[in-house]
Amino acid sequence: MNCVIRAAEPRDVKTIHSLIYELAVFEKAPHEMVNTPDKLLEHGFGAHPFFICFVAEVDNEIVGMSLNYIRYSTWKGPVLYLEDLIVTESQRGKGYGKALFEHTLNYAKQNAFARLQWQVLDWNTPAIDFYKGFGAGFDAEWLNAWVELHKEINS
């Protein structure tokens, strides 16, 4: 496999945004995506980054990404939260998602996180099976909850 996993850089933001949009389409919710490349640049590479991102590159082309952020569990301590693991559709099944996930998992271990945590949609059986291959646990007890603070129009 000719794949390099590396930390994302500001020059990658447009491709990262495209991958996020591709995921939104896959999840049948592109209308909910309001993030922009400019916001990703500020939020990921500004003075106070909100996320950590790794990209998978094949022949100098980004084919996937792992976007993460730090949470704190009062019971466990620091947790690395995997927000999205995305491989562009044409490149799936080639091991790039596995390489990204393993890199993210190793990053969490090397930085003494108590766990790596994420969510997966209950209908996304390929992703569920993928994560089961890593020995992942699944929790059916907890419900997702949120308060929408503002809604922007994607122009």
List pLDDT tens digits, range 125-149.
Answer: 989 899 999 999 998 888 778 877 8
The DSSP bridge partners found for residue 33 are none
- What is the model's pTM? 0.89
Instruction: Evaluate whether 106 touches 143 at the Cβ level (below 8 Å).
Output: no
List pLDDT tens digits, range 60-94.
Answer: 999 999 999 999 999 999 999 999 999 999 999 99
Q: How far apart are CA 20 and CA 33, in angstroms?
A: 8
Instruction: Domain ranges for the chain, please list them.
Output: 3-132
Handedness of CA 136, 140, 141, 146 (dihedral sign): positive
Instruction: Supply the residues annotated as catalytic.
Output: 131
Annotation: CATH topology of 3-132:
Aminopeptidase (3.40.630)
CB-based burial, 69-81: b 16+ in 10 Å, e otherwise: beeeeeeeeebbb
Instruction: Evaluate whether 56 touches 6 at the Cβ level (below 8 Å).
Output: no
